[in-house]
Amino acid sequence: GASPAQQRFARAALSELLGGIGFFHGRSLLRSERRAEPVPGPEAALLTAVPSRSCFPRGFLWDEGFHLLLLGRWAPTLARDVLAHWLDLMNADGWIPREQILGEEARAR
């Protein structure tokens, strides 16, 4: 089994991950070849873990895989829900934007 120090570390890591899970809703700003300024995308929702809810209130796709490694062991149903939210953001070409800044509050950070 794990030593007491390893157990404390594991509890702290899981606690930090769970504390960083948030639900975000709004519109991303999308760049278009036809316009100089970004245009609002469709309404979207995202359940995701973030590195810092106060400094980075947005989802990062490249981080989510690592978050899901731990979350999937602790709460598989929650991990599948997070993954499903990311997959719902996929466009018709199969592309998922790597950073999701949904709504005015997230853009203000």
The per-residue pLDDT for range 14-46, each reduced to its tens digit, is: 999 999 999 999 999 888 888 899 999 899 999
Question: Domain spans of the chain?
Answer: 4-107
Residues 6+ apart with CB under 8 A from 86: 46, 48, 59, 61, 64, 96
Q: Where are the alpha helices (DSSP H) in 32-100?
A: 61-74, 76-88
Is the per-residue pLDDT at 93 higher than 80? yes
Side-chain half-sphere CA neighbours of 4 within 13 A: 0
pLDDT digits (tens, 9 = 90+) for 4-19: 999 999 999 999 999 9
Using only C-alpha atoms, the chain has a radius of gyration, in whole angstroms, of 16
Task: Specify whether the CB–CB gap between 78 and 68 falls below 8 A.
Answer: no
**Phi, psi at 42, each rounded to 5°:** -70, 160
